[in-house]
């Protein structure tokens, strides 16, 4: 009886350890994704769309902030830097 209980405890520990390893490795999610190609394509398409939109919005915001800062620096009338930045701002505004 004691030997049987010890084997059950050992088996239970092994199963728990295996379960923990599978959860840490996201093995269940991997097998799910590998079995369904259509879902992988849909997920990647949506992720790509959101990445593209995010990059577009991010670049637009950063560019707007940089142009705003450059215009403020030009207004300070720093001789060499001001002229250089004024040229950059003028080029950007012409390209719109």
pLDDT tens per residue across span 2-39: 677 888 888 888 888 888 887 777 776 777 767 778 88
Decide: pTM greater than 0.75. no
Instruction: Determine, yes or no, domain membership for 9.
Output: no
The answer to whether position 27 is within a domain reads no
Q: What is the pLDDT of residues 44-82, one digit of tens each?
A: 899 999 999 999 999 999 999 988 888 887 777 777 777
Rounded to the nearest 5 percent, the helix, strand and coil shares of the chain are 90, 0, 10
Q: What pLDDT, on a 0 to 100 scale, did the predictor assign at position 9? A: 84
Number of domain units in the chain: 1
15 lies in a domain?
A: no
Q: What is the CA radius of gyration of the chain?
A: 30
Q: Is residue 18 part of a domain?
A: no
């Amino acid at each position: 009886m004691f030997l049987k209980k010890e084997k059950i405890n050992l088996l239970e520990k092994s199963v728990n350890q295996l379960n923990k390893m599978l959860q840490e490795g996201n093995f269940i999610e991997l097998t799910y994704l590998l079995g369904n190609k259509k879902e992988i394509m849909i997920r990647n398409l949506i992720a790509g769309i959101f990445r593209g939109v995010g990059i577009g919005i991010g670049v637009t915001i950063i560019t707007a902030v940089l142009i705003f800062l450059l215009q403020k620096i030009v207004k300070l009338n720093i001789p060499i830097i001001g002229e250089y930045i004024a040229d950059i701002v003028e080029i950007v505004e012409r390209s719109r």
